[in-house]
Amino acid sequence: MGGGGMPATMPTVALLGAGATFPAPLIQTWTVQFNQMYSGVTISYNPIGSGGGIQQISRKTVDFGASDAPLSNAQLAAAPGLTLFPETLGGVAITYNLVPFGLANGTVLNFTPNVIVGIYYGTITHWNDPAIAAINPGVTLPINLITAVHRSDGSGTTYAFTNFLSDVNINWATEVGYATSVKWPVDTAMNANGVGAKGNAGVAGTVAQTPGAIGYVDLIYAVQNHLGVGAVMNAAGNYVSPSLQTILWAAQNATGTPNPADLRLHIVNAQGAQSYPIATYTYMLTYRDMSLNPDLTQQKATVLAYFFWWEVHGGQQYSSGLDYVSLPANVVAADEQFLLTLNYQGTQLLPSSLMPG
Amino acid sequence: MLDYNSKRKYSNLLYFFFASLCFLVALIPLISILYYTIVNGASVLSLDFFTKVTPPIGASGGGILNALIGSLVVVAIASLIGIPIGVLGGAYLSEYPGKFSYYVRLLAEILTNVPSIVTGIFVYQLIVAATNHFSAWSGGVALGFMMIPIVAISTNESLKLVSSTLREGGLALGISRAKTLIYILLSTARAGVVTGIALAIARVMGETAPLLFTALGGQFLIHSPNEPTTTLTILIFDFGTAPYTNAHAIAWGAALILLIMVLGLNIIVRVASRLKIKGET
Amino acid sequence: MQTQQARRSAQKQGAPRSSLLHIMLGIAAVAIPVITVLLIYEIGNGSIPSIQAYGLNFLFTSDWNPFPANGGPPILGALPSMYGSVVTTVLSLIFAVPISLGVALFQAELAPRKVRAPSLFLVEMLAAVPSVVYGLWGLFALVPFMRVYVDAQLGSKLGFLPFFTGQTDGIGMLTAGIILAIMIIPYASSVMREVISAVPTSQREACIALGATKWETIKTAVLPFARTGLIAGVVLAMGRAIGETMAVTMVIGNVARISPSLFLPAETIPSVIANEFTEVAGNGVYLSALFELGLILFGMSFLMNLAGRVIINRLGFKAKQ
């Protein structure tokens, strides 16, 4: 029973979602919880990457998608009727593996945006580079080569990370840009070492196994893998470590009043003294008129709509336990307005009575 | 310097040594794989492991029930396609030898080595893209396509071993070719045909790539083959490459079960055929 | 021959012609060429947009950039994955061919009767291990081993060679080549063993009658006779290695790169397809390029297997005479 206006029972229905790896632990926990509430409803979520989520929902081979990267206007145009709403948010952590080279466990290194840009450009190649040393006084940096790990698959984490790099560095913006997958200069730079790995999983695993490696992963993967996590200088000039709190501050300071008609929210490099600069919403992808997906009957569409509703309400209680940030109240309100526009050939799927007050 | 005969003796010994060493070196990976799988997999086995479905990725607990059922469903569908077509096709090759059979047999031998990823994108395009739907049965079709040439070749080989006097005897008695084939030839070659089928099943049970784009994966037990599902192999790949030790543990457990099933089938089949040969002599 | 005589004699005696049988069996047999044609059609069809966009340049472009910075169309080429496929396959053959030959000789010539059956059995078990289990073992056992014991030693002692430069974490072409070698040893050795066994005993007996040692018999009588077949075995092993997907995908690192260093992560055609196929985001040419890679892979595997099989078949006829 979902409480708060959710129906008492639901029919036996199987639904399929696919997309980003970042929210996978949370979404899969949600589907398991939802199945415990409604034993006939089995919603399977397959983490194949943000790009995959966009691809499969555009082709209507899945019932819903999930992506860390907001859909571009071109992608929205290519799949008429496709929309999105944020269901959780996270941050991209800069992780590194330097304990084998003598750094004390738990040492927090400072990074300015331009240092990170330099590492992934391949211009900063060793850990004891003056640029890194200058902002980390008191830390004895090793002389070793930096192995810069990045994603080899299409990824919303890459999107958020490169979005941040493009925001802070004009060269990166023009020469590399931001996307779910980019051509990493560090891969081909002289004397530098770039390595690709698949999934947040792969990057975290590669960093964990490679002394001297640095990588960008969703915060939760860094925490769970006990990797060193860096503090990044934000727009206010402070070095901020990623945490549920600093990411929430970024969201609260940047979001303003979200527009339910377009819920693509840009919170990279947010204002606020302690806002974490590489924060990102992650989105669920669905057709506003669910009948556009031939596999969805009205019954299945209704169940799916209720699942979405539960995600942003009852589901949020599971967020912090899994190291995800709960949606700020204004975003939940915007999501509610959005979810009420979900329909099946014009018939609104969720009753307006669900809205509180 | 050694005299000529001593040199010959020593180079002979060297050959013995080199060949034996090669054999032992080839065995090292087998021993290592068995060791790692048993040690890592055994620690995660429990009743829950076989009765619960996969947990959310990274979480502890849970089991592999949905993957186990998924594997069985996909392999069952593959067998429904692969066994009849493979056996009948193999029978054709031995009953009607000629240019056509020669080329079909050659094609079958080439197809047994087609990269499994190619089969995967082929069946994706053929079924999944055309119907906009991932499903267990599309995975079964992909594996079935892989089974057909394997079963056809082994059936052909088994029938070739049957003495031609049996074939001629049947025809001489006026029995139709169909009845000769079914009641005399296939029943005589029964052991070989069944062995070939069992080995083909063991082979497709271990396949992953063709299923990645067809069966896709899933978190729950499926209600029908029309739903996508995870299998033991998909599970091992997904959980093995995830960054959580909980997920790795489940991957090793699934690998142990898969190894027991695949190697077990291989062993049973070979022991049975050896016993049958002993029994017949 | 004998079956044709039987058929003719059956026809002469007026036995009922089972044309229904012929049709039913024929349908089953024809399924094999039909599936092949269907495969080529579907993959070819999927490749057309890519072929139209890139033409022959696809084979020579070393860029793999599905999302260029300026927002233009993807710049894709087959060269990085083809390079990785070729290098890992060649590496695997360097390790696997001598060992397979040794195993084949051990099983065919050397092993005493009691050891022979178990030795065949054990190598067949090696072949039966699923590819994804090889990959799991590769990821958790072989990769750390390579990183700590092999790559470090090679890098320090032979680091002047371009093959052993670069940072190593155990994931890369060398590890992929080794795992590939392990996986093709059972197949290659089984083909070689059959070829060696097919050498007529008269050849061996002649040598023994002349007082040759076992090794001399093999060196002078068996191997030269079997040489063509052994080469066919190598070609077949190559065809199998180039198509191997799961184990390689899990240990090669998946980066589009062309570099002489064997330590660096790279990619093969199967690993690119496995990694990127489901996640291609709506971009028609990108997906089509993956199909084109699949087509190239299928072509290479097909040709190698065809060549190897035809040679073996020809030998089969010779040996029987």
pLDDT above 90: residue B185? no
Task: Scan residues 30-89 of B and list those with Cβ closer than 8 Å to A.
Answer: 55-59
User: Of C29, C134, C182, which is closest to B93 when you measure between CB atoms?
Assistant: C29
Confidence band for C234, pLDDT divided at 50, 70 and 90: very high
pLDDT value, residue C14: 45
B219–A224 CB contact, under 8 Å: no
pLDDT value, residue B278: 65
pLDDT value, residue B281: 46
Range A318-339 average pLDDT? 90
C69–A181 CB contact, under 8 Å: no
pLDDT tens for each residue of C116-131: 989 999 999 999 999 9
pLDDT tens for each residue of A268-283: 898 899 999 999 899 9
pLDDT value, residue C320: 37
Cβ contact B90:B200 at 8 Å: no
B208–C298 CB contact, under 8 Å: no
CA distance C177 to chain A (A): 18
Give the residue from C63, C139, C145, C167 with the most A CB atoms within 10 Å of its CB, the best one to mutate: C167
- Which single residue is written with the structure tokens 């009957």? A297
pLDDT value, residue C7: 58
pLDDT tens for each residue of C293-307: 999 999 999 999 999
**Interatomic CA distance for residues B158 and A80, integer angstroms:** 57
- B223 and chain A: CB distance < 8 Å anywhere? yes
Q: Which chains touch B (3 or more CB pairs under 8 A)?
A: A, C
How remote is the C-alpha of A72 from its chain's centroid?
Answer: 16
User: Of C166, C171, C276, which is closest to A153 when you measure between CB atoms?
Assistant: C276
| Amino acid at position A344, single letter | Y
- Whole-angstrom CA distances from C306 to A34, B110, C241, C245, C296 are 53, 6, 15, 20, 15
Residues of chain B found within 8 Å of residue A62, distances taken between Cβ atoms: 134
Cβ contact A27:A43 at 8 Å: no
- B251 and chain A: CB distance < 8 Å anywhere? no
pLDDT tens for each residue of C105-118: 999 888 888 999 89
C281–A78 CB contact, under 8 Å: no
Range C266-292 average pLDDT? 84
A198–B56 CB contact, under 8 Å: no
pLDDT above 60: residue C281? no
C99–B205 CB contact, under 8 Å: no
- Whole-angstrom CA distances from C5 to A212, B165, C1, C2 are 75, 11, 6, 5
pLDDT value, residue C69: 61
**Interatomic CA distance for residues A166 and C30, integer angstroms:** 57
Q: CA nearest B217 in A: which residue? A: A46
pLDDT value, residue A98: 92
Cβ contact A183:A176 at 8 Å: yes
CA distance B14 to chain C (A): 9
Q: CA nearest B274 in C: which residue? A: C117
Cβ contact C287:C46 at 8 Å: yes
Tally of residues, chain A:
357
- At B51, is the secondary structure helix, strand, or coil? helix
- Which single residue is written with the structure tokens 């080469």? C231
Q: B114 φ, ψ to 5°?
A: -65, 135
User: Of B134, B217, B218, which is closest to A61 when you measure between CB atoms?
Assistant: B134
pLDDT above 60: residue B280? no
- Whole-angstrom CA distances from B279 to A226, B272, B274, C294 are 61, 10, 8, 48
Structure-token pair, residue B99? 């240019």
- Which single residue is written with the structure tokens 């490679």? A210
**Interatomic CA distance for residues B173 and B178, integer angstroms:** 13
Q: C149 φ, ψ to 5°?
A: -100, -40
Q: CA nearest B251 in C: which residue? A: C136
C124–B115 CB contact, under 8 Å: no
CA distance A7 to chain C (A): 35
Confidence band for C48, pLDDT divided at 50, 70 and 90: very high
How remote is the C-alpha of B16 from its chain's centroid?
Answer: 34
Residues of chain B found within 8 Å of residue C123, distances taken between Cβ atoms: 26
pLDDT above 90: residue A261? no
Range C260-273 average pLDDT? 88
pLDDT above 90: residue C244? yes
pLDDT tens for each residue of B47-95: 999 999 999 988 988 999 999 999 999 999 999 999 999 999 999 998 8
- Please spell the DSSP secondary structure of C166-235, one letter per residue: S---S-SHHHHHHHHHHHHHHHHHHHHHHHHHTS-HHHHHHHHHTT--HHHHIIIIIHHHHHHHHHHHHH
Range A226-244 average pLDDT? 91
Residues of chain A found within 8 Å of residue C280, distances taken between Cβ atoms: 51-52, 55, 154
pLDDT tens for each residue of B203-252: 999 999 999 999 999 999 999 999 999 999 999 999 998 878 899 999 99
Structure-token pair, residue B256? 């142990």
Q: What is the mean pLDDT of chain B?
A: 91
User: Of B58, B216, B222, which is closest to A25 when you measure between CB atoms?
Assistant: B58
Strands annotated E in chain A: 13-19, 41-47, 64-67, 82-96, 110-111, 147-151, 193-197, 213-218, 228-229, 231-233, 239-240, 279-287, 343-344, 347-348
Structure-token pair, residue A308? 């979405």
pLDDT above 70: residue C46? yes
Confidence band for B23, pLDDT divided at 50, 70 and 90: very high
- B219 and chain A: CB distance < 8 Å anywhere? yes
C281–A177 CB contact, under 8 Å: no
**Interatomic CA distance for residues A219 and A325, integer angstroms:** 10
Cβ contact C178:C135 at 8 Å: no
In sequence order, what are the residues at sequence separation of 6 or more whose Cβ sits closer than 8 angstroms to the Cβ of residue A8? A1
In sequence order, what are the residues at sequence separation of 6 or more whose Cβ sits closer than 8 angstroms to the Cβ of residue C187? C127, C236, C237, C240
User: Of A31, A202, A221, which is closest to B219 when you measure between CB atoms?
Assistant: A31
User: Of C167, C256, C278, which is closest to A145 when you measure between CB atoms?
Assistant: C167
Residue C35 sits at the vertex; the CA angle it makes with C30 and C38, to the nearest 5 degrees, is 125
pLDDT value, residue B181: 79
Residues of chain B found within 8 Å of residue A63, distances taken between Cβ atoms: none
Confidence band for C16, pLDDT divided at 50, 70 and 90: very low
B23–C20 CB contact, under 8 Å: no
pLDDT above 60: residue C317? no
B220–A225 CB contact, under 8 Å: no
Range C176-202 average pLDDT? 92
User: Of B11, B115, B267, which is closest to C245 when you measure between CB atoms?
Assistant: B115
A339 vs C69, which has greater pLDDT?
A339
A32–B56 CB contact, under 8 Å: yes
pTM of the model: 0.90
Min mean pLDDT across B24-28, B106-110, C23-27 is at C23-27
CA distance C41 to chain A (A): 21
- B272 and chain A: CB distance < 8 Å anywhere? no
- B169 and chain A: CB distance < 8 Å anywhere? no
Residues of chain A found within 8 Å of residue C275, distances taken between Cβ atoms: 152-153, 198
**Interatomic CA distance for residues B276 and B26, integer angstroms:** 29
pLDDT above 90: residue C254? no
pLDDT tens for each residue of A77-87: 888 999 999 99
Cβ contact C240:B230 at 8 Å: no
In sequence order, what are the residues at sequence separation of 6 or more whose Cβ sits closer than 8 angstroms to the Cβ of residue B63? B46, B48, B49, B50, B51, B52, B53, B54, B250
Provide the number of CB pairs (under 8 Å) joining chain B to chain C.
297
Give the residue from B52, B54, B57, B227 with the most A CB atoms within 10 Å of its CB, the best one to mutate: B57
pLDDT above 50: residue A131? yes
Among A121, A203, A134, CA closest to A169: A121
**Interatomic CA distance for residues B56 and A26, integer angstroms:** 8
pLDDT tens for each residue of A281-325: 999 999 999 999 998 999 999 999 999 999 999 999 999 888 889
Q: C266 φ, ψ to 5°?
A: -145, -160
Give the residue from B37, B154, B177 with the most C CB atoms within 10 Å of its CB, the best one to mutate: B177
pLDDT tens for each residue of A22-53: 899 999 999 999 999 999 999 999 998 888 88
B164–C2 CB contact, under 8 Å: yes
User: Of C17, C130, C250, which is closest to B241 when you measure between CB atoms?
Assistant: C250
Structure-token pair, residue C124? 């067949």
pLDDT value, residue B261: 97
pLDDT value, residue C6: 57
